[in-house]
Copies of this chain bind each other. A is one copy, B any other.
Amino acid sequence: MKTCRIVGAGDFCTTSLNRNEDSFFIAADKGFKNLTDCGILPDLLVGDFDSLGFVPEFPNILKYPVEKDKTDMQLAVEYALEKDFDLILMYGALGGRLDHSLSNLLLLNYISKQGKKGFIISEDFVVSAITDGELIFSDKAQGVISVFALGEKAEHVTLRGLKYTLDDALLTADSPLGVSNEFLGQKASVSVKNGTLTVLWFGSLDNCLSL
């Protein structure tokens, strides 16, 4: 699968990345510092560079004005979608300013609605969004998993193999019905038939079998 890894300025787990991976790396603004701090040079640098504070001398750079409609992470995601990457992994996308974290969660909705797979990887947990689709988890997954409708209503939501199952349920952004579910040490699945569902689980991406 053609994979793009985007690194932002948020909390960043350096151990989860190395340059040997067959990925295209984009640094979004101060994500450049996050990435180079762990010895990796990006393939592309995107942003207005207000948070980094300087424009690096770098051969492959897309520099935008500070006064723009889109966030640096959004510009990086749009680049990845234009170049037809199937899988977009965002790092350093959470844990800083809450508005930036929320903004990055909405980008998962956007990626999913374009028919691509998107994941935010943080130190402790992973977030994804699925549209009219399914995520399947291995029996190695453990701990908490939560599902949210962050957007239009999510219809026909089915949760299997988890502590609390749902069958063909409706989730809306007015109620946190799907928070704090739990893996049971067995194969599990989360699916939605009409709408977009945000799925957050503690652990790693490896426990998700849907890649």
Contacts and interface: CB of A to CB of B under 8 A. Distances in A.
Given A98-B94, A98-B200, A125-B98, A174 B106 contact: yes
Contacts of A149: 151
A208 to B, nearest CB: 16
B102 A150 contact: yes
A130 to B, nearest CB: 14
Contact of A180 (B71, B101, B164, B177): B71
Number of copies: 2
Interface in A158-177: 164, 172-177
Contacts of A109: 173-174
A102 B152 contact: no
Contacts of A74: 175-176
Interface residues of A, number: 41
Contacts of A107: 176
Interface in A71-121: 71, 74, 94, 97-107, 109-110, 113
B103 A176 contact: yes
Nearest to A113: B174
A166 B69 CA distance: 11
Nearest to A173: B151
Contact of A151 (B69, B113, B144, B151): B151
Given A97-B144, A102-B148, 20 more contacts: A69-B177, A71-B180, A98-B200, A99-B146, A100-B179, A102-B105, A102-B176, A102-B198, A103-B148, A106-B174, A106-B175, A149-B151, A150-B150, A150-B151, A150-B173, A151-B151, A151-B174, A152-B152, A152-B153, A173-B196
